[in-house]
Amino acid sequence: MQNYFNYFTEIEMHFQRRRGSLLLLSTLDWALIETWREAGIPLEAVLRGIDTSFDKFDARAAKTRVRRVNGLAYCSQAIMEAVEEMKEAVTGAAKQEADAESAAPGFEQERIAAHLRECAQELTQAQLAGIAAELATANIASLKSIAEETLAAQPNLEELDRRLLVMEEKLLSALMATAPEDELVTLRTESARELAPYKARMQAAQIKQVEQQFLHKRLFERYRLPRLSLFYMRQG
């Protein structure tokens, strides 16, 4: 199993390798990855499901002309099947991945602190109003304080990421409460349109989760807000 914080990158690179091109993942693809990560689906299951989907696709493509695989939603059913096949073997594995005693490569104290300060700066520049603006101001102070704490002592990465996710979720709730109704309707319509071709391959609960993640991601993009989680920390 790959390091906890490589989840997004590993899935993106594996999908691109199997497709044979550097196709940029769509908002829908990223929303799917977030739902898998939040559901605790092991990285190995996702990669195995991608392989199974492409193996089946390649077998059909050799006999008939079919369109290329253009998104991760095509692989969602195979990924769920892979989860069932390896469920007993991976029970509790996700919780054992994070090492609380030492920093994972790429997650040194200085780099984490830089990420937190950058997020604070982006929040300072965000054009928000009402409770969203008030919460952003509070988050700016918290991020700066956490950055100093991180430099003083190596943090527990899992605990730190949970703290950042709570801050993100509270800001998102404020955005949902203050965003114009017509804007939210437009984003939900866009989400439904992009999901339409893949709904037959997805379970109802998963469709709902992806629609929510799609909406959340679009809202953060719309207001140019940083993603605080360490998943989004720049590497290199």
Q: What is the pLDDT of residue 133?
A: 93
Residue entry with tokens 């309707």: 185
The string of pLDDT tens digits covering residues 168-179 is 989 999 988 888
Read off the pLDDT of each residue in 8-36 and give the average, rounded to a whole number. 82
Most confident range, picked from 49-63, 95-109, 143-157: 143-157
Q: What is the pLDDT of residue 87?
A: 59
Q: Are 201 and 73 a contacting pair, CB within 8 Å?
A: yes
Q: What is the pLDDT of residue 44?
A: 86
25 to each of 79, 150, 158, 197, how far by Cα in Å?
17, 32, 26, 16
The string of pLDDT tens digits covering residues 117-148 is 999 999 999 989 889 999 999 999 999 999 99
Q: What is the pTM of this model?
A: 0.62
| Cα distance between residue 225 and residue 69, in whole Å | 31
Q: Which of 107-111, 115-119, 201-205 has the lowest mean pLDDT?
A: 201-205
